Amino acid sequence: MPVFFSQRQFVVPGELLAEGNYMAGSNVYRVGNKFFSSSVGLAELKDRTVTVIALSGCYIPRPADLVIGEIVEVSMASWMVDINSPYQAILFASEFLSKPLNPLKEDPRRYLDVGDMVIAKVLNFDRTKNPSLTAKEKGLGKITKGIVVEIDVTKIPRVIGRRGSMVSMLKKETGCEIIVGQNGRIWISGKTREDEMIVMEAIKKIEREAHTSGLTDRVRELILKMKKSQGG
């Protein structure tokens, strides 16, 4: 019963994946005893089920991308990071700490533990292994304040705006610090939680109405209305 792909191999619609006594999972269709991909994605075989993880609308890492990730696993000298992608990233201690980590004397959890959020950049990625991150540049590192909002990754360019116009307006009208990750996560830090919530509502409006024109003016109006209702 042949399988025509390796685990997590990139496939396209109509590509023959397997033939034989299998079951069709997500984004896979069957014709007779042959199984084909119905989506652009990553093919997997698990428990005799052929599945394709769809990549449209998913974040695919690229070197130099700014991302916001969540620590999901701690090892002796590195952390595994959920970057809202089919691929988990790895953050080595050497790309986070300013000094070498001695795993025999230090617990890496003292620096980053499961559930912590980090702002990082993608160092490299070539689909053959987990993307690696760095958090040693200025402005990167562990998130210790503010909130993180997650939106559809395809709407991130609209949040940024042409030449940064939308995100600049959000910062100016609310006084909040805002970092937009290419992976669909956005960090917001304001003087008050109310200011952060205003930005969050504005971002959700951008996500809903990303396809429409005149959006910047409507988002500004929403911000001013919310500030007024809060006595700002």
In three state form, how does the secondary structure of 41-75 look? EEEEEECCEEEEEECCCCCCCCCCCEEEEEEEEEC
The alpha carbons of the chain give a radius of gyration, in whole angstroms, of: 21
CATH (one of 3.30.70.100, 3.30.1370.10, 1.10.10.10, 3.90.1660.10) for 147-229? 3.30.1370.10
Given pLDDT bands bounded at 50, 70 and 90, which one contains residue 173?
A: very high
Please, which residues bridge with residue 92 across strands?
A: 78
Place 56 in a pLDDT band, splitting at 50, 70 and 90: low
Domain boundaries, the chain: 9-54, 66-142, 147-229
CATH class of 9-54: mainly beta
| pLDDT for res 116 | 97
Distance CA 43, CA 24 (A): 11
Task: Catalogue the E-assigned strands of 76-137.
Answer: 78-82, 89-92, 117-124, 132-134
Q: Are strands 23-24 and 49-54 parallel, antiparallel or unpaired?
A: parallel
Per CATH, domain 66-142 is 2.40.50.140: yes
**pLDDT higher than threshold 90 for residue 96:** yes
Domains 9-54 and 66-142 share a fold: yes
Q: How confident is the model at residue 232 (pLDDT cuts 50, 70, 90)?
A: low
Least confident range of 52-61, 69-78, 91-100 = 52-61
Q: Give CA–CA dist 40/220, Å, rounded.
A: 37
